[in-house]
Structure 1
Amino acid sequence: MECLELRIPPLPQFITVGHAEWKPGMQHFTRTFDVYDVLFVRNGALYMTEDGREFAVEAGHMLVLEPNRTHFGHRPSIEPTDVYWVHFIHSAPVRTLSGDEVSWPYVLRKGGDFDVSPSEQFMYLPKMARVDLAPMTAVLDRLIELHQSFVLEHALQVHALLAELLTLMQDAVRMRQSSRSAAVCRLAMDYLQQLGAQPFRGETMEEALHFQFDYITRCLKKHTGMTPLQYLHHLRIGKAKSLLENTSLTVQEIAEQVGFDSANYLIRLFRKMTGMPPGRYRELKHRK
């Protein structure tokens, strides 16, 4: 599935939403503007061209028309067509790619108390796809209801509903990912999460997942940016943070609980991954 990669934050800004039934013979006019125009067809069909590329948007499908591209109906509807649309403003897509190329499990840098900017993040919208319209039209109907009596108190809710709609659109991309490497990555992530504090051995992982360890490593690194050991350390340091914040256990006791042989190893790894030793982390959290 072809999809658009959009940088976030910020989230897109809502402009308008609508719903209508087009009679046979109706045809979309020609337009070029700096706005995303997303069409959802519940019944019938729309026939749209965008910069010379033709789309037949049939019942149960959606199409994202991009800003600053010329679009128009290249032929009239031949039957009654039930269509929703929503317009929003956002920057142009970073790129267009296949949904199978999106690394959904990629581990993002978590913001901390001393960060002043977010990590780099993206969302992915299908260019055109068959989707489950039922949850989408429920959100669209609520958007239309609020937009018809658009007052200040509804502004935040309208944008939250737009974000919910975009999430449903992204789910259409995510749920169709079928690459083998993504499937192996998920198996590896599940295995490492279940491993907990038990010793890690590549040979044991091979036997459990029925893939060679080198292949498992390539798949995990492709989709998360980490090797199996790095991902396991990521999980264990996350658990150590929670224990430092919520218990009075010593660093040695925490090391044993999360699966490290010694407190010294935990301290070195904790400092490397967070920029401070465990004791300092605990002190700052408790002080806050």
Structure 2
Amino acid sequence: MRLRNHGFADKAGKPGERAGGVHPYWELLCILEGEAELEWSGVTYNASGTALFVLMPNTPHQLVQRSRTLRYWYAEFHAGDGDPLPAADVIFRWNALQGGIDWTAEPYPALRAAFDATGLLLRSEASLRWDRFPEAVLADLTKLLVLTGSLAAASRPAPARSSGELLATEALRFLESMFPQPITLQTLADYTHYNPSYLVRLFKKHTGKTPFGYLNELRLSAAADYLLRSDMTVLRVSLACGFQSIHYFSRSFKRRYGLAPSEWRRAMRG
């Protein structure tokens, strides 16, 4: 693991101010005080008071301030093969918990103490030796990743089985969380524990769309965000959003937005 960028923000400003973007690094984002929304990978997560988000590389993210004051820290880092990184489904499940955690109740106080300590360390950078500071921060980040992965894995809800509407909601959340990954109908059926053809009928009944029609919309929306806010190539955008063929991506994008990806980017950026 190698530290790339970090910071501590104590902001007094107008609600609606934004910070973020996209980068090829892992990131931990910790809200310490105030209210905010995190827009990440096509989903909006609410954070009030305290929250800890894990962000994967190449995923667009925007932190939207919702209170007049907001305190948070962030740390971006390169990860190696041996680093304790949670799996993608665990990360999405963990981020979805933010905004609803009682940090005074077990098993969360240990994690709360750990990210409070990380924030204190980041604020004290100027008083520490420059050559040992990254090592100390990375030790804290490693601890946070281990604790986060453990707590998220233990919080997995049982698959919804009670009604077609709940099944559709479960499938929607899965697609919204996992859209950059290769997904087949069997993947979705295995996750929900329903017959594939029955799943498609119920999903369309309750959403008006097929699962893969909805998945394609998610991927195209994420692609538009990448094209607008980053300098990633069209090929990288295509792959980051789950398209296995750049030609299929370009055709799908033009059908939805009226222009090819590169043309749309130029038009939107003026």
Q: Normalised by the size of structure 2, how large is the TM-score?
A: 0.43
Computing the radius of gyration from Cα coordinates, the structure with the larger value is 1
| Bigger share in helix | 2
Q: Normalised by the size of structure 1, how large is the TM-score?
A: 0.41
